[in-house]
Amino acid sequence: MMTRELDHSSDRDRLELALQIAGLGEFDWDIENDVVRVTERLSAIIGLPPGEYPGEGGEGLRRIVHPDDMAALRTDIARLLRAADVYEHRYRMIHPETGALHWMRAAGRVIRDGEGRALRILGIIEDVTAQHLEEDQRQQLMAELDHRVKNVLAAVQALAQQTAKRTTSLDAFLTNFNGRLKAMASANELLTAARWRGAAIDHLASAELGALAPGQTSWEGPELFLTPRAANALSLALHELATNAVKFGALSVETGHVDLRWRTLRDGGFELTWTETGGPPVGAPPRRGFGSTLLEQVTPRELNGAAEVEYRPAGVRVRLHAGPQAMADRPEVVPDVPAANRVTETVATAAGPASLKGARVLIVEDAVLLALELETGLSEAGAEVVGPAYELEEAMALLDQPIDAAVLDANLNGRSVTPVAEVLRQRKIPFVFATGYGETGGAPGGFDAPIIRKPYDVTQVASAVAEILASR
């Protein structure tokens, strides 16, 4: 007899502990006597003192149920008493002590007699407010992501259309469009690292100029952060200026220099000055392209300011004035200055496209269209493509084949490509990362490998692979 009592006590203690750990409060509704018993644990959750309360045929629940949810709960109770054995219901309540809105989950079982008549309901109640808040936040984030993606797609579409209208050949369109798209991607990477709270001007300058012409560019100014809209606009403007400087201006010769400086203004905005010196004599372009339109019309409007472009014989000088609306507070998370020297920014040279004749190159990329584009581009450069591999297991299986080099996406459908990279490193097979992940600290996984940021031109990838093969 004593043993049974001890076992029963032990079971009860385990149940009590389980309910306490789970944050559950239990109740007992005696339907025959129409009395609801509230335990101390349940009292701590719903705010009513522990004890017995009149059931009132279910209407007593109005003490803890939001008025707007009572009708649905009445329907559930009627169904439960009529035919069901178990139930689960979610409802809102106004906490009687704090007045705060809470979400509750109730679940239980009906105890019936031999004739099926409901005698009592035993159940538990859980405060699930935190889960509902998380779900609301998740929905808000998804809506915000959808909004941003649509904005980006619309901007890319407009960029493509405007670029196409002002180019005379497919090659020129691809070159100009890819460069502008990459400028947008650089700004987006910085904004993402700062949780879309803003991007610093010096980060934008480093991303655009850092690897362009070492020793021929410099930038200086106070730490200023721009809104996402202004950051994208300035990134595109710097890209247009840098592209023109490489083609026609100071960066087209070894003696030229580009100096970028910015300062704050009394109204809370800033002034940025781009100055080219030491290059060939320049003059106003014979026709206005999209770059000119971007600098003189689009950028000032996006920055809530103005732009002045001077084609001086000594070199181009551009002043951009931005209003205080373009400024953002310093984000809580500020990324490191982009390590531009770690990023491969390879472009076609006068010697023509890179040659990969006879090289066996493994492609690991989970985006099918992009993998096909890589396969076409590398094949046209003379490579023998291994793959493409779209999944981690596919890539690992292909490592047994003869491989001279590899192009790796950092993430394969949510899985890291690190196991593939590790095997390649052990076998001393060079590889490059072609990735959309913004890891300003260097290559993914800490590998000593060049990085090509998405979006990219396939010729960049071919040139990068040719370089790592030549350096073996």
If DSSP states are collapsed to H, E and C, what string results for the chain?
CHHHHHHHHHHHHHHHHHHHHHCEEEEEEECCCCEEEECHHHHHHHCCCCEEEECHHHHHHHHCCCHHHHHHHHHHHHHHHHCCCEEEEEEEEECCCCCCEEEEEEEEEEEECCCCCEEEEEEEEEECHHHHHHHHHHHHHHHHHHHHHHHHHHHHHHHHHHHHHCCCCHHHHHHHHHHHHHHHHHHHHHHHHCCCCCEEHHHHHHHHHCCCCCCCEEEECCCCEECHHHHHHHHHHHHHHHHHHHHCCHHHCCCCEEEEEEEECCCCCEEEEEEEECCCCCCCCCCCCHHHHHHHHHHHHHCCCEEEEEEECCEEEEEEEECHHHEECCCCCCCCCCCHHHECCCCCECCECCCCCCCEEEEECCCHHHHHHHHHHHHHCCCEEEEEECCHHHHHHHCCCCCCEEEECCEECCEECHHHHHHHHHCCCCEEEEECCCCCCCCHHHCCCCEEECCCCHHHHHHHHHHHHHCC
What's the rounded mean pLDDT across residues 56-83?
83
**Which has more confidence, 61 or 223?**
223
CATH topology of domain 360-470: Rossmann fold (3.40.50)
Question: Per-residue pLDDT tens for 347-370?
Answer: 333 344 568 888 999 999 988 878
Question: Per-residue pLDDT tens for 133-192?
Answer: 888 777 776 665 565 566 556 556 656 766 676 667 777 777 767 766 766 666 666 656
Percent of the chain with pLDDT over 90: 19
What's the rounded mean pLDDT across residues 124-132?
87
* Per-residue model confidence (pLDDT) at position 262: 95
CATH code 3.30.450.20 region(s) in the chain: 21-127
Q: Is the model's pLDDT at 415 over the cut of 60?
A: yes
What's the rounded mean pLDDT across residues 25-51?
86
> Which one of 3.40.50.2020, 3.30.1450.10, 3.30.565.10, 3.30.70.2860 gives the CATH number of domain 143-338?
3.30.565.10
Tell me the pLDDT band of 3, cut-offs 50, 70 and 90. Answer: very low
CATH code 3.30.565.10 region(s) in the chain: 143-338
Question: Per-residue pLDDT tens for 193-223?
Answer: 656 577 888 888 887 787 667 788 899 999 9
Domain 21-127 has CATH 3.30.450.20: yes
What's the rounded mean pLDDT across residues 409-425?
88
CATH code 3.40.50.2300 region(s) in the chain: 360-470
Question: Per-residue pLDDT tens for 233-254?
Answer: 888 888 888 888 888 889 888 8
